[in-house]
Amino acid sequence: MSRFQFSRIKHDCAERRFERKLEILPGLTSWSILVGLIVLSVLQPVWAAVIIIVFEFYWLLRLLYLTLFLAISYMRLALEEKTDWMERIKSLDILASDEPLGVSLERPGLKNQISDLIFRRELKRFRQSAEPSLKSSELYHLVIVPIFSESGEVLEPGIKSFAEGSFPARQIFVVFAVEERADPSVHAVARALLEKYREKFFDFRIVKHPDGIEGEARVKGANASFAAKAAREVLMNQNIRDEQVIVSCFDADTVVSRDYFACLTYSFMISPHRQRASFQPIPVYHNNIWDVPWFARILEMGASFFQLTEASHPDRLVTFSSHSMSFKALVEIGYWPVDMVSDDSAIFWKALFHYDGDYRTVPMYITLSMDAVNAGGWWETCVSVYKQKRRWAWGVENFPIVMRGLLQSKKISLFEKLRYGGKLFEGHIAWATWPLILTVIGWLPSLFMGGEFSGSVFYYTAPRTSGVIFNLAAVSLLTTIVLSLSLLPKKKMKHSFFRRAVHALEWLTIPLVAIFFSALPALEAQTRLMFAKYMEFWVSDKRR
Amino acid sequence: MKIFRRVVFLLFSAVFVVGTPKIIFYVLGYSFQPGVERGIVQSGLIFLSTAPPGAEIYVNGRRYGEPTPAIVSDLAPGDYSVRLLLKDHYPWARSIPVHAGKATVLGNILLRPKKAKWKNHIAQSYERLIPISGTHDLILWDGRNKVEVYDWALKKKNALFQSPEIHWRSIQRLIVSPESSAVIAIGQHDEKIRARWSKIAGSESWIPLPPEWRHFKVDDVMWDNRDERYLFGIRDGEVKRIDLYQKTAQHFLSDVRGLAVDNRNIFYLTGSDFLSMDVTGKSPRAIWNDADNFLGKEDNVRITPVSPERAFFLTPEGKFATNDPPRLISEKGIRGSAYDKKNQAVLYWDEKSLMAAEWVSVKSPKGEPIFEIKKRTLFSGARDIQTAFWAHDGAYVVYQDQNKVFLLEPQSFGAPFVYELFEVRRGSTVFFSEESGLVFYLDKNDGYLMSLELIPKWKVMEVPFAMIHEKVKELET
């Protein structure tokens, strides 16, 4: 195991200076691409147009590739919708007792048959691994919910969903990780919920995170880590070992689906390397999706789709937002980073380096729902959404640390290093630049081309080629619209059909939404990192 | 699933690797031509757009799948026989050159219908047709005392100068001004030469003439449609301003060799200078200081302002110039001109030829963009050109030669095509409206107001977004 410290180096040294260069790299690359294309459009518009057309072709292929896997992942999600995870757990329990499986693993219907086929393959893979079997009765879920300013209206649905799921709540230990500096009303709400739901769970505690602990920044990870340590003491006192616990760190507004913990338990039990794994569900933002402005709706659907697509590539899946992991791994790697905003992704990298590359994220085809940003008014929500996306894009702070880790690691293969590092870098650059290139910069060469080009072949073929590319991209847009309409909650509401039809049209605004709420926040985040203007955690406005 | 992912990834990567150079080649106009020595050649294309659209395209006898507007690309440099066929229209066929890396643009091809669309607007006899440019009005005059105005857009006719107090013995002259809804009639009234001002569908009044203009031997009268209070008459170099409100006439300018009124400004040529001022006589401004070097010393220079900074000058001897360098467009013999603001091109003609001059942007030896005038002769061989108009966005010319009207299709790569359209009333002129696509004229026999539709009402959009069509199949033409 590696002793790599997954944290920003605080003191001045050669390694810090190298890290500083890595911090500058993403922003510098993004700005260079954007400014470079603008300058090239002015000085050499023909070459700029050719480069942009090649880029558009590349973008089209990427888009179609992602859309294909989005569709595949969505189908998988739909396949598992009716899966009885508790039944699967029972099957695993039986096998763990070395008893013959008396029940058939086949159900009628095509969807069920495919799902069962996948189960049988997972079972086969597990049996071929050296991982010992576990009984579900021996497993516990530790659910940590960091709280700072959330109301009872936001918190209670989540707690209720933990209590009323298909997995026995008596094996769930809930911890409210409350910031000491939170408003007294927040503390009061936490206590009230504890009183109301305590009896339903294995245990339900409130852990107050003191302010100003040395070495900690005001970030969610510090709060969650403090709570995890406190919870571990409770578990140890109950003789519950780390390897029996699956820890989930949920945002305060998280509402899990009924079968979430059952699915998580199953995934944990059947995973060949369960103690070296995180478990990533599909985040959706359905708690209030119909109550938010259209741009917030589009963005959150886009985030869900992104995770769906990523789920189809488990070998490069990184944790995001609310997710779960082996508690043993969490303890061994030293809990969440206490000085980084992006704790959700940082924990994966921390684990990856700690285990010298022997760590993975297991996708779970089950959803958990959160709130879309809603600050009340339209403009306030604009600002809040922008800030939230900027915080998400602040995940770029991982890049210099990850690169340091990859370069230092002697156990991770070169191929893996290139794959991880390349994907991380390319992902952030694309986030900040692609919408701007496609929507704005792509048109600049035609503005700067002089009249002498109007009689050239290029003048006719270039716009025609771009037009064909964008028309083909509409296939992806159409697929996205159809899937989003299928994924959205079938809530009973007034003018349901009309609202859905309008939602389909909302996707046409994606070029503008992508610029203002995706590219610009990402560019700002990278620029801040470039100039060492590190961000602190900012709690999104969520209201019901 | 892992294998599937890898296969798909490799497939997409292969598409990208193979597709990218092909796209670059295509966009820059390179293609692989079998049978050619080098194999990869820089090709050209032909852009074809017709009015009406939808014509079948045949290139060197082969039919291309989609109709016009279309881009026929991947053509090796050379000459191509292009033929366009549209039902109920005459075929259009030309030999079109294609150059490497260049687009041969034929964006305004007019397909002539086999059944021409004629219309009789007014079944009454007239001798003169006077269009008011910039309006929908046509002044119709029987050559005596009957003057009417016809709005071809509203299809309404009104009489002018018909008040009971008017007893014309004869109207000698009618004067109009661009974009103005007013007409001046000069004629003998109650034994005197008088001038009367009439607003179309509005009021009329007598114009107070200066005593020395008793016989109204004025060279010209002009006014600005934005300020119809003042009229400016020029005679023997003196300009008088007539105030229609106060009914006074006063001296305004002297030694004027040419005068024009436009957009609340007076443009005038005096001595060697070309200047402007507003209609109240304020804010004089010099535009061109050595005009006589190009225009000579002639008086009665006809000035046509086309913008606050650009004007055309036509001397009685036919010298045609502009204040933009290189200034002199034609040395002599020019009878008239028509300016196309959109394409920045001027059409001008002498007795036998039609010519065009365009302003094109070029780079100076220092690399700065400058404008240059490029002149070309569109057609030679007419007998007595009376008037001419740009048509169909400057791609065609309608002109009157003696009392016949023709449609000219200039070619930048070959002899022009000339189509005879009809004959007009002797002594009358025609008017072509780009807005409606109609040519208005007086029938040669009975003087009725007629029109012929030259350009269909709905035009094709000439943008380079037309479908690109590769060879689909060979068909017999």
- Whether the pLDDT of residue B392 is over 60: the answer is yes
* Averaged pLDDT, B185-197: 78
Preceding omega of B210 cis (within 30 degrees of 0): no
Check CB contact under 8 Å for A467 and B465: yes
Predicted pLDDT of residue A96: 74
- Chain A residue with minimal CA distance to B26? A461
Most confident of A452-461, B175-184, B346-355: B346-355
- Whether the pLDDT of residue B168 is over 70: the answer is yes
Selection from A154, A136, A135 nearest residue A145 by Cα: A154
**Is the C-alpha dihedral spanning A203, A209, A213, A216 positive or negative?**
positive
End-to-end C-alpha distance for chain A, whole angstroms:
45
pLDDT greater at residue A124 or residue A257: A257
pLDDT tens by residue, B280-310: 888 888 888 888 777 887 888 899 988 888 8
Give the long-range contacts of residues A184-190, CB within 8 A, separation 24 or more. A186/A147, A186/A148, A186/A149, A186/A150, A189/A150, A189/A151, A189/A152, A189/A155, A190/A147, A190/A155
Predicted pLDDT of residue A147: 93
User: Considering only CB atoms, which chain B residues are within 8 Å of A68?
Assistant: 8
Predicted pLDDT of residue B458: 63
With 0.80 as the threshold, say if the pTM is over it.
Answer: no
* Averaged pLDDT, A216-240: 93
pLDDT tens by residue, B232-259: 888 888 888 888 888 888 888 888 999 9
Q: What is the mean pLDDT of chain A?
A: 89
- Whether the pLDDT of residue A524 is over 50: the answer is yes
Nearest to B8 among A65, A455, A457 (CB): A65
Reading phi first (left if > 0) and then psi (alpha if -120 to 50, else beta), residue A311 is in: alpha
* Averaged pLDDT, B390-396: 92
3-state DSSP helix/strand/coil percent for chain A, to nearest 5? 65, 10, 25
B146 Cβ contact list (under 8 Å, min separation 6)? B159
Nearest to B29 among A54, A457, A467 (CB): A457
**Is the C-alpha dihedral spanning A178, A183, A184, A186 positive or negative?**
negative
The 8-class DSSP code of residue A80 comes to G
Q: Which percentage of chain A shows pLDDT scores above 90?
A: 54
* Averaged pLDDT, B111-118: 91
**Cβ atoms within 10 Å, residue B88:** 9
- Whether the pLDDT of residue A540 is over 70: the answer is no
Mutate to test the interface with B, among A54, A67, A460 (most CBs of B within 10 A): A460
Check CB contact under 8 Å for A461 and B9: no
Q: Is B245 on the interface with A (CB under 8 A)?
A: no
Check CB contact under 8 Å for B23 and A54: yes
Nearest to B103 among A68, A456, A467 (CB): A456
Mutate to test the interface with A, among B27, B371, B413 (most CBs of A within 10 A): B27
Return d(Cα B87, Cα A304) in angstroms, integer. 55
Predicted pLDDT of residue A342: 83
Q: Which percentage of chain B shows pLDDT scores above 70?
A: 92
User: Considering only CB atoms, which chain A residues are within 8 Å of B72?
Assistant: none
Contact criterion met (CB below 8 Å) for B71 and A464:
yes
| The two structure tokens encoding residue B334 | 């020019």
Burial code (b: 16+ CB inside 10 Å, e: under 16) for A292-316 equals bbebbbbbbbbbbbebbbbbbbeee
- Chain B residue with minimal CA distance to A453? B102
| The two structure tokens encoding residue A501 | 């039809």
Return d(Cα A84, Cα B104) in angstroms, integer. 68
The model's confidence at residue A105, banded by pLDDT at 50, 70 and 90, is low
Q: Which percentage of chain B shows pLDDT scores above 90?
A: 42
CA angle A40, A41, A43 (to 5 degrees): 60
Contact criterion met (CB below 8 Å) for A390 and A518:
no
pLDDT tens by residue, A380-422: 999 999 999 999 999 999 999 999 999 988 889 999 999 999 9
Q: Closest Cα of chain B to A460: distance in Å?
A: 5
Interface of A with B in 364-383 (CB under 8 A): none
Check CB contact under 8 Å for B361 and A450: yes
Predicted pLDDT of residue A341: 84
pLDDT tens by residue, A449-493: 776 677 888 888 888 899 999 999 998 888 888 888 888 776 655
* Averaged pLDDT, A180-194: 92
Beta strands in A184-339 (DSSP E): 203-209, 245-249, 255-256, 277-284, 323-326
3-state DSSP assignment of residue A526: helix
- Whether the pLDDT of residue B473 is over 50: the answer is no
Q: Is A451 on the interface with B (CB under 8 A)?
A: yes
Q: What is the mean pLDDT of chain B?
A: 85
User: Considering only CB atoms, which chain A residues are within 8 Å of B73?
Assistant: 457, 460-461
A157 residue type, one letter: P
Predicted pLDDT of residue A103: 54
Check CB contact under 8 Å for B26 and A461: yes
- Exposed, middle or buried: residue A194 (CB in 10 Å: 0-12, 13-18, 19+)? middle
User: Considering only CB atoms, which chain B residues are within 8 Å of A465?
Assistant: 23, 26-27
Give the range among A216-230, B105-119, B145-159, B209-223 with minimum mean pLDDT. Answer: B209-223
Q: Closest Cα of chain B to A135: distance in Å?
A: 29
Check CB contact under 8 Å for A50 and B19: no
